Amino acid sequence: MGSRNESGRPATRDLRARRREVLKFLGAFGLTAPSAALVSAIDGALQSASAQAAAGQPVPRLGVYLPNWPDQVELWRQLSREWQPLGIELDLQQGTLDTFVSQIVAEQKLPHMGSMSWGGAPDRLDPDYFLSEMFHSRRTARGGLNFGFYRNEAFDRLADAQRSEMDPAKRQQLVREAQTHIVEDSPSIVLFHRDIIHAYNKRRFSGVKPILGNGIGFPYMPLSYMDITPLTPRKFMRLTSIYDIASLNPFLTPEIYNSTTLRLIYATFTTRDEKADVMPWALERWNIVNPTTVDITLRGNTKFHDGRPATAQDVKFTFDFINKHRFPALSRIYETVESAEITGDLTVRLKLRTASAPFTANVLGYAFLAPKHIWEAVPSNLATPADWPNDKPIGSGPWKYVEWRKGEYLQLAANQDFFMKPKLEGMVVLPVPQMESMVGMLERGDSDMLGWNLDMTLGERISRNPELEVVRTPTHGQHEVRLNLGMAPTDNKAFRRALQHVTDRKKLLDIIFSGAGVVSNGAPITPALENWANPAISAPEVSVDKARAVLRDAGFTWNAQGRLVMPSA
């Protein structure tokens, strides 16, 4: 079977080999070395994956893709050991996030399994992301996140239903039920939800607000900066981040750090409060008239940073503008909102293309109020207004733009006209590409808040400093091992369930992240999201005997060398 495959596509194989040659050659210039190495790593993983398990034969080495981050390497060192008693061997292939996206998501080349960690972006607070995006059969298409090819009609129905269910109680039921399928079918081994660890200078500032999935320093949730209060005469706070923004144009970037930072300037219509509940932000309120009609009302007396008042005109303009230009970064908005109609000075009626339960959180919480008088004047010779430099961003958010020096700092000033007044006079965000320097700056007092994920060792070092405080916040982001249901033996449900029983989540979290996090109950939604987590689900019992029993019951055997053997046909 293998040989037919090979002789069937000599041209492709040839081409790929040749491309690898070229890449290797270029690698000599140090330019493309990582990419070339990665392509061959993935190809290697594919080869081991193509060695499919045959009935009655020993299980081949299982191909594993893992990102080349230290914690992931440690994870697989542990898992290789823990899974040994089942008589299986792993073939580990490391890659970057870049390869993950291009090879596994876009090209769908997942070997038997792959591990990944998903960050706690605000839109992922809605259960729709970790259910539909990751496990709906529709998302098995190229570029979809269901790259392990899980298909279950019953689950699909529940996932679709919860998405259009506007009644929160009913939706909760559907979401909880959908999770039971994931636990039962085991398309993924959800491991844990690692805490976000940030730190700040408590002698200089108080009023930090830890928010689920955001910590105290990420810009994802604008609420987290609102109550920060200076304790010394200096009224602005210096915050360090690994990244810098790339653009000041809010229509351009889909990248989460950049887009959320710009939304400090451009107020979104809604946002999340400390309990992760949706709350009005630029809006005063919203009203769901029916599943595809939503009335929204702007706060009275809203002013843009240039002093011009914001009205329903601007709201309508924003949605029309997005629909007209179909900004890729804002696809979820134009794909949901069909039209916007002015119904009063401050009110607009939105017509949706389909009913969408995450609408208030993920569409109104992502869309921002854009000033009509500025964006309608953008020159039309550009391919898209997303290419407009927008050097002086004017929004209506709690922070006004002051200055951005690329690679040096972004300076923001409090908008005293915002309905909720920041207690700081301003913020300076300093991009520092190195963790050690970030910690050093905080320790020396060159920065006031460290807004990037620390590990526990650094966290402990910082917490010994009496001026500094380390804050741990749970997140809905998660670490998982996705299993490929498109090939043996991971297509075997018993095999997947057996892996669950030999995966000690608590121990892994302890070893890798010093226990800083929440152990998964096996479902993709963190128990910390009480509204959506299913309390009836608990993590599978950790027991080698149980795992072997599950395998034995499904017809797996072990050969004389102790190697796991596939059930005979």
Partner 1 sequence: MAFWLFAARRAAHTAVTLVLLLLFMYVLFRLVPGDPTTIMLGTGELPLEAQQRLRELWGLDRPQWQQFVTYAGNLLTGDLGMSFYFRRPVLEIVWPMLLNTLVLMTPVVVISIVLGVTLGTWLGWRRGERIEEIGAILALIPRALPVFWIGIVLLALFAYELRWFPIGGMRQAFFFPETWYQELPFFDIARHLVLPVAAGVLTSMADPLMIQRTALIEVKHEDFMVHARARGLSEGAQRRLARRNAFLPVLTYSAIMVGFAFGGQVLLEVVFNWPGMGRLMVNSVSQRDYPVAQATFFFMAAAVVTLNLLVDLAYGWLDPRIRHE
Select the residue interacting with partner 1 from 97, 289, 377, 420 (CB under 8 A).
97
Based on its alpha-carbon atoms, the radius of gyration of the chain, rounded to whole angstroms, reads 25
Say if strands 90-95 and 62-67 run parallel, antiparallel, or are unpaired.
Answer: parallel
d(CA 560, CA 558): 7
Binding to partner 1 by residue 432, rule CB under 8 A?
Answer: yes
Binding to partner 1 by residue 236, rule CB under 8 A?
Answer: yes
Binding to partner 1 by residue 98, rule CB under 8 A?
Answer: yes
> In the complex, what is the shortest distance from the CB of residue 358 to partner 1, in angstroms, rounded to a whole number?
14
Maximum CA pair distance of the chain? 80
d(CA 302, CA 315): 12
Structure tokens at 184: 């039962």
Contacting partner 1 within 240-259 (CB under 8 A): 246-247, 249, 252, 254-256
Select the residue interacting with partner 1 from 8, 300, 433, 562 (CB under 8 A).
433
Binding to partner 1 by residue 440, rule CB under 8 A?
Answer: yes
Of the candidates 448, 441, 345, 331, the residue with the CA atom closest to the CA atom of residue 386: 331
Select the residue interacting with partner 1 from 143, 300, 344, 562 (CB under 8 A).
143
Three-class DSSP category at 482? strand
Binding to partner 1 by residue 443, rule CB under 8 A?
Answer: yes
Structure tokens at 81: 């050991």
| Dihedral pair phi/psi, residue 353, rounded to 5° | -70, -40
Three-class DSSP category at 60? coil
> In the complex, what is the shortest distance from the CB of residue 11 to partner 1, in angstroms, rounded to a whole number?
18
> In the complex, what is the shortest distance from the CB of residue 477 to partner 1, in angstroms, rounded to a whole number?
10
CB 272 within 8 A of CB 361: yes
Of the candidates 179, 185, 177, 129, the residue with the CA atom closest to the CA atom of residue 152: 185
* Count of residues near partner 1 by CB under 8 A: 65
Cβ distance to partner 1 smaller for residue 413 or 549: 413
Structure tokens at 266: 């451009």
Cβ distance to partner 1 smaller for residue 144 or 567: 144
Binding to partner 1 by residue 464, rule CB under 8 A?
Answer: no
Contacting partner 1 within 372-411 (CB under 8 A): 383-384, 386-387, 389, 406-409, 411
d(CA 378, CA 386): 10
Binding to partner 1 by residue 23, rule CB under 8 A?
Answer: yes
Contacting partner 1 within 409-428 (CB under 8 A): 409, 411, 428
Sorted by sequence, the CB contacts under 8 Å of residue 167 that are 6+ apart come out as none
Binding to partner 1 by residue 129, rule CB under 8 A?
Answer: yes
> In the complex, what is the shortest distance from the CB of residue 38 to partner 1, in angstroms, rounded to a whole number?
9
Cβ distance to partner 1 smaller for residue 459 or 477: 477
> In the complex, what is the shortest distance from the CB of residue 430 to partner 1, in angstroms, rounded to a whole number?
6
Three-class DSSP category at 319? helix
d(CA 399, CA 431): 18
Positions of E strands within 292-363: 293-298, 337-342, 347-352
Tokens 């090209």 appear where?
107
Strand partners, 205: 230
Site string for partner 1, 169-208 (x = CB under 8 A): ----------------------------------------
Sorted by sequence, the CB contacts under 8 Å of residue 46 that are 6+ apart come out as 63, 109, 111
Binding to partner 1 by residue 116, rule CB under 8 A?
Answer: yes
| Contact range with partner 1 by CB under 8 A, out of 32-40, 292-300, 457-465, 538-546 | 32-40
Task: Tell me which residues touch partner 1 (CB under 8 A).
Answer: 19, 22-23, 26, 29, 31-32, 34-35, 39, 97-98, 100-102, 105-106, 116, 118-119, 121, 129, 133, 141-145, 236, 238, 246-247, 249, 252, 254-256, 326, 328-329, 331-332, 383-384, 386-387, 389, 406-409, 411, 428, 430-434, 436-437, 440-441, 443-444, 446
